[in-house]
Amino acid sequence: MTFSALKLLALGVAFSALAGCSAVTRIEEIGDPPPLAAIGAPGSPVGGALGSIPLPPPAPPSHNMNALWAAGSSSFFRDPRASRPGDIITVNISVADTAKLSNTTSRGRTNSDNANLTNFFGLEVPMAAGTGMDPSSIVKMGSDTSNVGTGSVNRSEAISLTLAAMVTQVLPNGNLVIGGHQQVRVNNELRDLQVSGIVRKEDITNANTVDLSQIAEARISYGGRGTVSDVQQPRYGSQLFDILMPF
């Protein structure tokens, strides 16, 4: 293979790696701020259309236009809390976790085995003659084993956020599946916050809010991208080297 062919092959591999790492998109965005995602359903892919937002089912027609009671209502006065697909609910995210673990393991063992053959029907001397064997010390073995291990974990996390989410689905048991997506762009730096989970209607307050501790299967994502975040990430070459290098 000629040198030119090797160069073309190396360029092809490099461009393939760039495409797999979404580097082409980042190169196209050089000089522009990070684009905001289109408004869509919280559970839909980024860039979903506005029409993908979940809508509540249509209210059943009322046979008596003068009646105060609407068909299908669960109470005389309408509950302002979120209960149907498309309704909005405020999620209070407050995380203050602290974990500290410390483990120490120590193990030791010593073995010693001795065996002799000083008397064997008077034949121990003829057996040892010419062999250099000492009947008083046939077998003598010993071993020492020791193991010491120490491990510790010290972690502290604190997050305090408020996010408006949307009801995307009502489960058969009445629980609500919620999802929210919020983006803030400041000086070419994009902050992205996403939340999803399952909420009981009973846990929603009169102010139409719910705390993170009351959300089952909660998934919280808080990150961003931009010029500042880019500096904090290792280069593609360094990441590839760490993956391929076995030592």
Q: Are strands 139-170 and 209-211 parallel, antiparallel or unpaired?
A: unpaired
pLDDT score of 51: 44
Q: If we measure between CA atoms, which residue out of 106, 112, 108 comes closest to residue 146?
A: 108
CA atoms of 88 and 56, how far apart (whole Å): 11
Rounded average pLDDT per 10-residue block, the chain, 247 residues: 56 54 65 65 43 61 59 62 89 88 87 79 69 74 85 86 90 91 87 90 92 90 81 76 70
pLDDT score of 161: 87
Longest dimension (CA), the chain: 124
Q: Between the CA of residue 148 and those of 103, 104, 105, 170, what are the distances in Å?
A: 11, 8, 6, 54
Distance of CA 127 to the CA centre of its chain: 72
Residues 6+ apart with CB under 8 A from 48: 38, 39, 40, 41
Distance of CA 28 to the CA centre of its chain: 29
pLDDT score of 71: 59
Contacts of 202-205 with C-beta under 8 Å, sequence gap 24+, read: 204/81, 204/82, 204/89, 205/81
Question: Quick check: 48 and 40 in contact, CB under 8 A?
Answer: yes
Q: If we measure between CA atoms, which residue out of 72, 69, 65, 38 comes closest to residue 52?
A: 38
pLDDT score of 164: 93
pLDDT score of 50: 43
